[in-house]
Structure 1
Amino acid sequence: MAPKKKKELDQDERFQAIVLTDSFFSRFMPLTAVTPRCLLPLANVPLIEYTLEFLAKAGVNEVYVMCSSHADQIQKYIDSSKWTHSSSPFTITTVMSLEARSVGDTMRDLDNRGLITGDFLLVSGDTVTNIDFSAAMAFHRRKKQHDKEHILTMILTPASPYHRTRSQIDSAAFVLDRNTDRCIYYHSVPPPNLPQTSVGLDPDLLEDVDELILRNDLIDCHIDICTPLVPQIFQDNFDYQLLRSDFVKGVLTSDLVKKTVYAYLTNGEEYAARVTSFLTYDAVAQDVISRWCYPVVPEVNLMPSHSYSYQFNHIYKEDKVILAQSCKIGNCTAIGNGTEILDGSSVSRSTIGRNCKIGKNVSITDSYIWDGVEIADNCVIHKSILAYNVTVHSDAEIVGSVVGHHVTVGRGRRLAVNSRLVETPIERESAGLDSFSDDERDQEVSPSVAVVVNDIDVVGVDGVGHLYVSEFEENDSEDSDSEFENTGSTDKMGTKMYQSFKLLNISDDSIASVSNKKRRRKTRRFSSNSVMSTDFERGELSEEEEDFAKEAVDTVTRSIENNHDLDTALLELNTLRMSMNVSYHEVRAATVEALTRRIGHFISTGTLGSKEATVKVFKSWGPLFNRQLFEPKDQVDLLMLLQSTCASGGYGGGFDGQVVLFWAIRTLYDDDIVEEDRILQWWNSEESAASADIRGATVRFIEWLQEAEEESD
């Protein structure tokens, strides 16, 4: 009997890990129509490799890879990987869960198979981390000893709410017991461009809690240490689909389950992130190349066939890379084996895959070029992803776009920002919920897609490809009064490479601008009579700076006319601002001009009256100013720009500047974009009083504000 007992003991001491590979949502469409998210390359390494490397260092003995979408590709990849060799630190098994449409379905399938023998690690196949897992495991075991109802430990990393690797789509607030780190309540937080909510706590949840703390500064990568009860609870609750909003929140608030969840907080110096959107894809890739995730860096060569070596300025190259003498390789760049870059080309803050051909005088910045891509002479690639075997003919320009596998972009084509191209039309997206998308419940039904058939207008006569448009974007463009006009769809937020700087804490004192402070900065002065005055200081402005006002107004106007979301408009404005090195004053001026023109259009065509047009435009597009106002004086500047614009006229017949000014200020005040004190400061300033005629309709509003202030005092 002795040998049998020893065998049973070894069986019980196994530490298992469950890897969720599937993306039950469309944030990476159209790339994930062909390739599963866990196999998308990040710094030229498939995402799942970072997750498996973490599990190897965590001391895991058995790994189960749960597959649904593109399961055959994942199976083939795992079978040919180093993790199946005898030298692998764990055994790895792929589990086909083809009917799963959510995390809940996967966990119920896991419970039905009876694979779990003890506590296990639950992690997503798109996680990149270097955390010390032994400390988290020790924390979990201590809590189990002291709390018999403990079933789950969440591993969270402190970071700024606007940290670039934190998914703004999956943001959440955690209410914790300060003394024990027990999670009392979980509340998902809407993205910044959606209406915010308050956190409501049931007083019964606060029993035996001496002091609580509310944290919304935690990156939740969904690395969880679970007990065998977790799959069982999913099995008993078929309405549980999402890991956080359903399972965790349901367990914490249930009168029947009575189980506890704890949060382990890392020391803040460790790195943890999930690639949940094109925005976080860009952020995590740059962090890996910039060595923030050390020792997970390119020269470690996670793939057996890789041969990267580290050079200065975070430049990495494999062995057989051909670089022309006159080409320029900037910082934070990785170049794969067999790639050739010809004369006059420049690459910076980008990743170039294997066997790529880059022609002459090509500019590649902040982009990701996958294996087998060919880019001809004189092309510009900026903030874009070019998937496997893409061909770009000469003189093309691709900015803020995603070009799918095997697409050909024709000669001289200039893709619109946020374009997504596919080789062949896609009939239907993957169904279900995103593995860890707790804020997208309203999109449980998979959307069908529409494909623009006039492909020549997109890729050119010599191009091959179709423009991919999801159903959400199609509805958005057809219905100007839809809910997406004011909020922007969550799906669109997740599927745009060219993400909004509203989600990042960027101001004039950002890193990008600090590096330029030693340069002589030329700014533009606006007269009090016209927002678009050409009376510039020193008269030494470059052609780009002279064109900023026109291009910025055109950018906002185009966004309004095409009913783009706020994120797109904000990002285009900020990109234009940084490329031309102008101040936020000029961005505000251009935005005011564009909105006023739109109001004038509604009035002159008889569509709406002055009040209705102003409220409509500023309700929908006034939030643009949220990322243009950083100090109190900026609000005063905005009000002065509004006053001078309304006074200048020239916006068509029927335009009443007094009415437009009043309702614009009233709407900005109601939406908490400008504060009461700043409005009064503007009103009492000498500069504003100089054009008192235009302020006639605003007098009553100012008197009301002053009376309210006196009553408050």
Structure 2
Amino acid sequence: MGAQKKGGGARVVSDDSEEQSRQRLQAILLADSFTTKFRPVTLERPKVLLPLANVPMIDYTLAWLESAGIEEVFVFCCAHSTQIIDYLETSEWHTHPNLAVRTIESHKSISAGDALRYIYEQQTETSQIQGDFVLVSGDTVSNMPLADLIREHRERKKRDEKAIMTMVIKKSKPSPITHQSRLGTDQLFIAVDPVTKQLLHYEEDKVDHHARGGSVCLDKSLMESNPSVLLYNDMQDCNIDICSPEVLSLFEDNFDYQHLRRHFVKGVLVDDIMGYKIFTHEIGSSYAARVDNFRSYDTVSKDIIQRWTYPYVPDINFGGNRPLKVGRQGIYRACDAVLSRSADVGASSVVGYGTKIGNGDRILNSVIGNGCSIGSNVVIEGSYIWNNVTIEDGCEIRNAIVCDGVRIRAGAVLEPGVVLSFNVVVGRGFVVPAYSKVSLLQQPMKEDSDEELEYADSSSGTADRLSGLSLEMESKASELGPDGAGYIWEVCEGAHDEEWKHSVAPIPEDKLAEIAQAMDDDDMEDESVVPTSGELKSDADSINTDVNDPGDDYSYFEKEVEGTFLRAVEEGIKVELGILEINSLRLSYNMESADCAGAIFYSMMKHAVDNPHSSASELFKNASNIIAKWKGLLGFYVKQTDEQIEVIMKFEEMCQETAKELGPLFAQILHVLYDKDVVQEDAILRWAEEKAGADEADKVYLQQCETFIQWLKDASEEEDEEDD
């Protein structure tokens, strides 16, 4: 069954439109990625059925759509359509009370454009897109609410009939080596009208952006028709779109629209005749990401384990999947999993149902599927072991993906970046080289196409049973040792140096150094181009590049912490799990404990102000209750005096700028923090000493606390006298 509905996922109806109120909220889910990035795995199983933290990808997408208020979803199936349809018909989605799941099958569509054209052609009175719809891929994981976004899209459409699509974007997490290091995607450059949020330019940079001095070329006409343009090079395209029905008809009228972004979006942006418009919607603390390659598979899996995707996490029942029990350090374990006492299962790991882990095993930052058997003295780090895998004694597996039914014989080693497809056997003591992709299916001598048209029967295990594809196979013997079974696929010519970009393995140090050096070289100027971030104004007098000010890192971190705290309050998350989530944010943004303390206290006090209150006494009660309930979360990050002083200074800042109604309560709330052992006497007295030399205007809250501070000093002197 779907996860319980959140507040933002209510059914959307228009108060002033009877026609819209009758429309069912609908979505089109593309269950085919139309790429070959997951080969050889997707030769045998569709990507949407591959597991993320032991749950098929499509379940995350369907559960999110259902909880966000979607009532009917059309699942378009092409590659491995039989497997997808069979799965849906035997799952709880088939009889779900809140979400009608309908499948559309086509074996002739080789692109997203073909799929949307086919859907448009198949429209009938009983099965059709009735109005605005959500367009999403079945490999998308999100928890964002859709109600406000759909309402925003519909209201904009009323004002401007040419507004046919709203794209969801999200600020990328700050990273020293660009967004590509996290999801393995191409660098994205977009230009947006800062007032209307209309998309003006969209460019995925497939070449070395740093070689161009960190700049992007824009058409001069863009500035002629827009007084100002906001440029971004730090946005993530979430691949979630709210579309008007005209989108389907545009694909029907333009057969050169194959790819959703490279063809359709760019085509709309340059089409001056029809005048259609695309707008953007930026999300903040919500989660949204697409599993586009093996690196993003690794990233999204880790985000699920670290609970960024709540409520779609391993210990929640959604889509009919059995939930796991979460323990300390974010370790998820099935109730019937058998772990040897000498086994070491480390933080951020998942162990599935019916799995057995032997003596002396070391498992860290890894996902182990259902029905696996792991021998003794095995090391598994940063890897994904799917279902019914057998790993014999003494094996080493680091940053690898191991599919269902694989057998790894004693002493074998998988180097970083290895992908073992279904039922492969690695011979005893064999070392599989880094970045190798291995399958029982032989590799085609020539690349057949850019599209993922895989019609293999997953139970066959041989290339002879491929149907719908005429592949010229290269005849080779098994390359995994005398007792192994499988073929190591060769990397395509020219692509060997790029394997690290899309792998589950960490980025090599030499590549990190190259990227860092390239970023240092980005300071070069070129009059023919404009900077890739900031606001460009038509008078060209100046360029505001404050968008990427380093100080913004803390601002984004603070917003993420606030979102995490509010989710913890709303969902009743335990303090220990809240600490786990904030620790992951701390690592992502490279923050200190004091930064976490300040951001958490800000979130707590803002929540107190936002809660209903009609007087200062009620506001004080709100603040006191929140501190009492969440003192364990805040206290985890204020163990040192400096961290406690940071909380007091953050409180001062809030009272002066964003939450002025807390100002008269400063001394009272500080006393509560002291009573609850969040801040200690030394921190308060040191803060008072530092403030003593400030200007009178900065002593407002110090003066308010004079009685309390004097009481602390007197109590301290009495204790000293007693000690003497």
Normalising by structure 2, report the TM-score. Answer: 0.62
Judging changes above 3 Å, is the alpha-carbon distance between structure 1 residues 139 and 434 closer, same or farther for their aligned structure 2 residues? farther
Distance 1:309 1:241 in 2: 44
Offset at residue 248 of structure 1 (A): 0.9
Matching residue of 1:54: 64
Matching residue of 2:485: 464
Distance 1:35 1:194 in 2: 37
1:285 aligns with 2:301: yes
Cα pair 2:209 2:215 within 8 Å, conserved: no
Q: 1:223 aligns with which of 240, 248, 256?
A: 240
Offset at residue 241 of structure 1 (A): 1.0
Matching residue of 1:202: 219
Offset at residue 475 of structure 1 (A): 3.4
Offset at residue 13 of structure 1 (A): 1.1
Offset at residue 462 of structure 1 (A): 1.0
Distance 2:413 2:209 in 1: 29
Q: Which runs of 5+ in 2 are unaligned?
A: 1-17, 454-468, 517-724
Cα pair 2:180 2:187 within 8 Å, conserved: no
Matching residue of 1:120: 133
Matching residue of 1:271: 287
Amino acid at match of 1:120: F
The within-5 A match list for 1:24-39 is 24-39=34-49
Matching residue of 1:656: none
Q: 1:105 aligns with which of 114, 126, 130?
A: 114
Judging changes above 3 Å, is the alpha-carbon distance between structure 1 residues 311 and 505 closer, same or farther for their aligned structure 2 residues? farther
Matching residue of 2:721: none
Matching residue of 1:475: 493
1:264-283: CA deviation from partner (whole Å, max 9, x where unpaired): 0012x211111111111111
Cα pair 2:143 2:286 within 8 Å, conserved: yes
Cα pair 1:421 1:467 within 8 Å, conserved: yes
Matching residue of 2:430: 413
1:367 aligns with 2:383: yes
SS of match in other structure, 1:381: strand
Q: How many percent identity over aligned positions?
A: 34
Offset at residue 163 of structure 1 (A): 3.9
The within-5 A match list for 1:245-644 is 245-267=262-284, 269-400=285-416, 401-427=418-444, 431-433=449-451, 451=474, 453-455=476-478, 458-469=479-490, 473-476=491-494, 488=497, 492=499, 496-498=503-505, 500-501=507-508
Amino acid at match of 1:389: G
Offset at residue 418 of structure 1 (A): 1.1
Cα pair 2:181 2:507 within 8 Å, conserved: no
Judging changes above 3 Å, is the alpha-carbon distance between structure 1 residues 208 and 192 closer, same or farther for their aligned structure 2 residues? closer
Matching residue of 2:99: 90
Judging changes above 3 Å, is the alpha-carbon distance between structure 1 residues 41 and 188 closer, same or farther for their aligned structure 2 residues? same
Distance 2:210 2:43 in 1: 28
Amino acid at match of 1:468: W
Offset at residue 388 of structure 1 (A): 0.1
Distance 1:26 1:189 in 2: 19
SS of match in other structure, 1:463: coil
Q: 2:149 aligns with which of 136, 146, 167?
A: 136
Offset at residue 228 of structure 1 (A): 0.6
Amino acid at match of 1:460: G
Judging changes above 3 Å, is the alpha-carbon distance between structure 1 residues 503 and 51 closer, same or farther for their aligned structure 2 residues? farther
Amino acid at match of 2:484: G
Distance 2:371 2:448 in 1: 31
Offset at residue 353 of structure 1 (A): 0.4
1:419-460: CA deviation from partner (whole Å, max 9, x where unpaired): 11112325487744479xxxxxxxxxx9967657142xx311
SS of match in other structure, 2:493: helix
Q: Which runs of 5+ in 1 are unaligned?
A: 1-7, 436-445, 477-483, 510-713
Cα pair 1:422 1:467 within 8 Å, conserved: yes
More RCO (CA 8 Å, sep 6+): 2
1:441-496: CA deviation from partner (whole Å, max 9, x where unpaired): xxxxx9967657142xx311111111123xxx3534xxxxxxx58xx46xx56764
1:22 aligns with 2:32: yes
Distance 1:208 1:148 in 2: 20
Distance 2:425 2:208 in 1: 36
Matching residue of 2:75: 65
Cα pair 2:184 2:293 within 8 Å, conserved: no
Offset at residue 194 of structure 1 (A): 8.6
Cα pair 1:139 1:264 within 8 Å, conserved: no
Cα pair 1:82 1:88 within 8 Å, conserved: no
1:347-369: CA deviation from partner (whole Å, max 9, x where unpaired): 11000001100000000000000
Judging changes above 3 Å, is the alpha-carbon distance between structure 1 residues 82 and 359 closer, same or farther for their aligned structure 2 residues? same
Cα pair 1:364 1:381 within 8 Å, conserved: yes
SS of match in other structure, 2:262: helix
Deviates more, 1:152-161 or 1:319-328: 152-161
Matching residue of 2:621: none
Cα pair 1:123 1:222 within 8 Å, conserved: yes
Normalising by structure 1, report the TM-score. Answer: 0.63
Distance 2:56 2:369 in 1: 12
Judging changes above 3 Å, is the alpha-carbon distance between structure 1 residues 497 and 179 closer, same or farther for their aligned structure 2 residues? same
Judging changes above 3 Å, is the alpha-carbon distance between structure 1 residues 116 and 166 closer, same or farther for their aligned structure 2 residues? farther
Judging changes above 3 Å, is the alpha-carbon distance between structure 1 residues 171 and 508 closer, same or farther for their aligned structure 2 residues? closer
Instruction: Give the number of aligned pairs.
Output: 474
